[in-house]
Structure formats: C-alpha cells, structure tokens
Amino acid sequence: MTTDVDLPTAVSQQFPSATSRASLDCPAFNIPAGEALALLRHLRDVRGYDFLMDVTAIDWSAAQSPRFTVVWHLYSSTGHTYVRVASDCASDTEPAMPTATGLWAAADWHERETYDMLGIHFTGHPDLRRILMWDGYPYFPLRKEFPLAGLPTELADPEIAAEVRAGVIAAPMAGGPFVAQPGEPMSAAEPRAKDEAWNEAKEKPQ
C-alpha cells in the first residue's frame, strides 16, 4: 500500500483543529464534528480522495464520553492511497453527525446502516430510515449494551409473529445452534440445526 506521506502536514496546515490518529495502515485524523464535512470535501477536491469506501461508527461504551465516534474511509483512485477520518458525536444520548450525502451519493446507504445499527442520526440525510432492521425496531444491535444473543422482539409481520407464538416456527435461530460433524467431507459439512422439529413440522403433509 502506498502512503500519501505529506498528507498529515497538509491537513494540519489547512485544518489546525485536526489531530493525527495513531494508525498502522494509512493516515488518520480526528476532527471536530463541525469541521468534518469541510475536511472531507478538502480531501475529495484537493487531495484526490474521490471514493468513499465506508461510513461507520464506534460505540466506546456508556461509561465513556464522548461515547460515539463516526469514521469515514476514503480512497484515491489516482494516487491509490487511503485516509481515515474520525469525528466524535457531541451528545452521548442523541448522537448526531452532518450527512456526507452531498459529497458522495454512496453515503446514503452507509449512513442508513450506521443509523440502523448504532443509532447515529445524520442530519440533513434525505431518507434516514432503517436499512436492515424493520421500521419500529426498538434497539440498535451494534451498541455495547445489546447482548450477543439478541433480545426478544415482537416481529413486524403479523403472520410470522403469530406462527412464532404458536410454535410453528422459531426465531431468531430457527432450531439452532447450528453444528457440523467433525471429519465430514466439505460437501456434506453444511451446518445443521440440532433441533429440526420446527422444519419437520412445516414439511408434514396437511
């Protein structure tokens, strides 16, 4: 991977409030939320970082403040270099960050996913709604307080929810945990549910 060696100096001169982050793979910067879009625009228009690879966020934990940090990963298709930009959300209870959809159309879905999983509101986003979970889902699955096994939740589809309550189907693991037998050839090693009763019930002739 090539590195834009003079980028840290150029960014610090243009944005005195930006600070370099420790990074092993590419230049990385922290920037206050109010200047994040200006830095992203500068990186795109002046430094050639024309491709938005990803927008995500970090939940450091409820015990830390600031709790949430939004992260952008950019790539230069001409210089073949990467840069990472991070900005802390001002609020720990209602985290927000300006949308980058005005700079990259691709920010649309990235920001929707970050909102869906971590609850970051991207102000000015043209269509900020869940992209993986259903509307009305009450949790943010990538927040630190969300348990690995998930939380019981009423399903949005009334028909599916009724079948779950009646025991016709199971959710979310549908018979799991899923296991494969040691020593099986790869072609036959597709993990199977320990409890197949839910599936067998559906396959019985009516």
Span 129-149, pLDDT tens digits? 999 988 888 999 999 998 877
Judged against a pLDDT cut of 90, whether residue 160 lies above it is answered with no
Tokens of 105: 């159309």
- Res. 4 pLDDT band, cuts 50 70 90: confident
Which of the 8 DSSP states describes residue 61?
-
On whether the pTM is more than 0.95, the answer is no
Res 197: pLDDT: 53
| DSSP for 126-194, written as a single string | TT---SSSPTT----TTSTTS-TT------SSHHHHHHHHHTSS-SSSTT--EE--TT--GGG---EES
Kindly report, as residue ranges, where domains of CATH 3.30.460.80 are found in the chain.
7-123
Judged against a pLDDT cut of 90, whether residue 121 lies above it is answered with yes
Res 173: pLDDT: 45
Which of the 8 DSSP states describes residue 65?
S
Span 28-85, pLDDT tens digits? 999 999 999 999 999 999 999 999 999 999 999 999 999 999 999 999 999 999 999 9
Please answer whether residues 69 and 89 qualify as being in contact, where contact means their C-beta atoms are separated by less than 8 angstroms.
Answer: yes
pLDDT, mean of residues 175-199: 54
HEC string for 93-135: CCCEEECCCCCCCCHHHHHHHHHHHHCCEEECCCCCCCCCCCC
CATH number assigned to the domain covering 7-123:
3.30.460.80
Count of Cβ atoms closer than 10 Å to residue 136 Cβ: 9
- Res. 23 pLDDT band, cuts 50 70 90: confident
